[in-house]
Amino acid sequence: MAFERRGASGVYMYFASRDPATGRVKKTYIGRGPRADAAAAALARRREQREADRRAVQEAQDALRDLDALTAEMDDAASLLMEAVLLAGGFHRHNYGRWRRVRDGHGRHGVAALASGSVR
């Protein structure tokens, strides 16, 4: 919704909305005077509210940014060390499936299978 200059006589308020059926923007004439001023004030209030909401969300995100980074670092370190220990312990994981013991087809598994050099 905005004031638009039409012709030489001045600005008029139009309400723009998209028609869901056709997808086209349709403008409804509001005019000018007290009714148009009230509509413009309501529009400004709504914009301010939207901006305040956006700022509040941004602040909430900023407030958690450091802690999120710390949590992500801890999560990453724990995941990496867990994977390292499991791989070192003779386990493997295929395509994000379950961790399983490495087997070489000769009855050897885990570290023994890896040591035999016949796996993979």
Partner 1 sequence: MATEGMESQPSQAEAYAEIREVVGRAKRGDAAAVPRLRELLDRHQALWVRAGDLAAQVELSWISLAGGDDLHLRESLLRYAAKLRAELTRLSASPVETLLVERAVACWLQLNYFSGVEANALAGDASPKMLQLRAKRQAQAQRMYERALGALVTVQKLFPAAPVEEVVPIEADTTVDTRNAQDAPALCPRADDNATDFASDFNDRYSPDAALVRVKVSN
Instruction: Name residues whose C-beta falls within 8 Å of residue 20's C-beta, 6 or more positions apart in sequence.
Output: none
Residue 9 has a CB neighbour count (10 Å cut-off) of: 8
Angle CA 95–99–103, to nearest 5: 95
Residue 101 binding partner 1, by CB under 8 A: yes
Q: Does 57 bind partner 1 (CB under 8 A)?
A: yes
51 counts as binding partner 1 under rule CB under 8 A:
no
Pairwise CA distance, residues 94 & 84, whole Å: 15
Q: Which two tokens stand for residue 77?
A: 């370190």
Query: Is 91 an interacting residue with respect to partner 1 (CB under 8 A)?
Result: yes
Q: CB of residue 47 vs partner 1: minimum separation in angstroms?
A: 14
Nearer to partner 1, 9 or 96 (CB): 96
* Binding residues for partner 1 (CB under 8 A): 49, 53-54, 56-57, 60-61, 64, 67, 70-71, 73-75, 77-93, 98-99, 101, 109-112, 114, 117, 119-120
